[in-house]
Structure 1
Amino acid sequence: MTTPNTVLITGTSSGIGLATAIAAARAGWTTIATMRDTGKAEVLSKAAADNGVADRIQVKRLDVVDPESIAACLDEVIAEHGRLDALVNNAGAAQVGTIELSSLDEVRAAMEVNFFGVVATTRAALPHLRAAQGRVITVTSVGGAVGQPFNEAYCAAKFAVEGFMQSLAPVAASVGVDITVVEPGAVASEFVANLGVDRPALVAAAGPYAPALEAYFARTQHAFDNAQTPAEAAAPIIGALTADRPPFRVQTSDWARDFVATTLADLDGSAVQTLTRAWVR
């Protein structure tokens, strides 16, 4: 019998990661659904049972900022399944603020999870992916292509991820590993809720930036009121997972494609600045 392909997905306790784990299992993959706190696996476990794929999903602990946790998880996967065919880097954390009001520790924390966590997990997985001629799929963001107000640290990390992956892609391809980045826009998930932002307190502490921050929050609320579902965002990830020749860059909606296209065609930066300045007025 042919051994099913195995995919490891980070950040699967909610949102896009959870939806991707369910969709990958439904597509026939042995799915290693990882999360920092496996005590939060109940929602995933119920969704797996409801979708009839509980036998294809295995929950494991993996904290992307802990190299020992990454290594231990991968060792278990290889010992139990003998192979790793794909890695989906999904774990991430939002960070709202502007540099005059944010501490350097807050900026470093955003970079640690959103950038260095991706680098560390990819680095550890590559020998196994190279052996399987597999692929790395990384969930970035439209914020990895378009810098957004009050998302300086988050967008910096996502820009860094995209630059890292774009640079890695031809090198990885030379040893048989495909690289794809997936760029969602607003997704109706726990991602923003997990940030724990106290909006009134943040505005009250914003000093001269308060009017711009209020305008930003109003615009962002509207965007998330019209967000796509996690399942909709997960569909292009599964497409990249199963395609014979996955593209390097994929957006998860028409809106995301149009938004990213703004920056890709904006040689002097004026189009993006005109767009995003309107968010803070």
Structure 2
Amino acid sequence: MSSKVVLITGTSSGLGLAAAVAAAQSGWHTVATLRDTSRADSLRKAAADAGVELDIRQLDVTDEASVAAAIDGVIADHGRLDAVVNNAGAGHFGTLENDTVDDVRQVMEVNFFGVLNVSKAALPHLRASGGRLITVTSVGGVVGQPFSEAYCAAKFAVEGYMESLAPVADKLGVSVSVVEPGPVASEFFGNIGLDMETEIAAAGPYAEALNNLVSGFVAELMSSAQTPAAAAQSVLKALTADRPAFRVQTSDWARDFTGTKLADVDGSAVQGLTRGWVA
């Protein structure tokens, strides 16, 4: 195991940071990447506290040259790449009439095209090692959520792409999985830069629905939040299982939530649920 190399994106905080530490603790040589290496202090401290070493490198998933340089650097320095965990992502809160189309494009650029950039660059090396391609999506990649249209659309796209890619990659010896967290107690919401009172005041005709969502479902979500370390165990499971499942949820809550959709042939169960959040 000590010779196996995993590259993880988006490791400055939250689930990505916890997954990098957990992988290193399990014996993986862990390349922890982040867009801005000046934000790596928390990552370094977590590694030191856990008594593990991380290979910290710069990688911007939206920049193909940055992705290529990072992957090439790993191969040059370590000679192999056995797994990739696509974790980098960006949140977004808003609804169609109040968003710009450019807002939506930016969400797709990070959460969807960023995943493709990294995966495409890594696949030749994962084929060579018989490796694993793991992508952190979200329960929002299964169940569409009000005021998260752009974010859910990006995560739906990732899930559809990876579900379609999985049998093709498997034929060539590469295992493909998606990890679906529910709410995680991390800096994710803070990183969006939301002031909910301001958002509600600016929501116009959507203010009542947004207020109902925030005071009801969002509050319930956060009360069910896992720690990043707990959620990271599901990433580790996908990394280490003899035959990992394609779809891995990080908690019982996430399994129940996604199960509503996966058993909902005509869509009525999900629509009944989500309409209740804004009613």
Q: Return the match for 2:168 from 161, 167, 171.
A: 171
Q: Which runs of 4+ in 1 moved over 6 A?
A: none
State the alpha-carbon separation in 1 of the partners of residues 184 and 267 from structure 2.
26
Q: Unmatched 5+ residue regions in structure 1?
A: none
Aligned twin of 2:96: 99
Aligned twin of 1:17: 16
Q: Return the match for 1:71 from 68, 72, 85.
A: 68
Aligned twin of 1:83: 80
Percent of counterpart pairs with the same letter? 64
Asked if the contact 2:177/2:244 (under 8 Å) is kept, the reply is: yes
How far did 1:200 drift?
A: 1.6
Q: Give deviations 1:127-186, integer Å, cap 9, x for gaps.
A: 010000001010000000000000000000000000000000010011100000000000
Structure 2 vs 1, CA of residues 3 and 252 (structure 1 numbering), >3 Å: closer, same or farther? closer
Aligned twin of 2:263: 265
Q: Does 1:38 align with 2:37?
A: yes
- Give TM-score scaled by structure 1 length: 0.97
How far did 1:198 drift?
A: 1.9
Q: Return the match for 2:205 from 208, 212, 218.
A: 208
* SS in structure 2 at match of 1:173: helix
Matched to 1:211, the amino acid is E
Matched to 2:239, the amino acid is L
Paired residues, number? 278
Aligned twin of 2:233: 235
- Give TM-score scaled by structure 2 length: 0.98
State the alpha-carbon separation in 1 of the partners of residues 274 and 223 from structure 2.
19
Aligned twin of 1:53: 52
Q: Unmatched 5+ residue regions in structure 2?
A: none
Q: What RMSD over aligned residues (CA atoms) do the two structures have, in Å? A: 0.9
Structure 2 vs 1, CA of residues 48 and 3 (structure 1 numbering), >3 Å: closer, same or farther? closer
State the alpha-carbon separation in 2 of the partners of residues 3 and 114 from structure 1.
31
Q: Give deviations 1:233-264, integer Å, cap 9, x for gaps.
A: 10011011011111100100001001001001
Aligned twin of 2:147: 150
Q: Return the match for 1:224 from 222, 225, 228.
A: 222
* SS in structure 2 at match of 1:192: helix
State the alpha-carbon separation in 2 of the partners of residues 147 and 105 from structure 1.
20
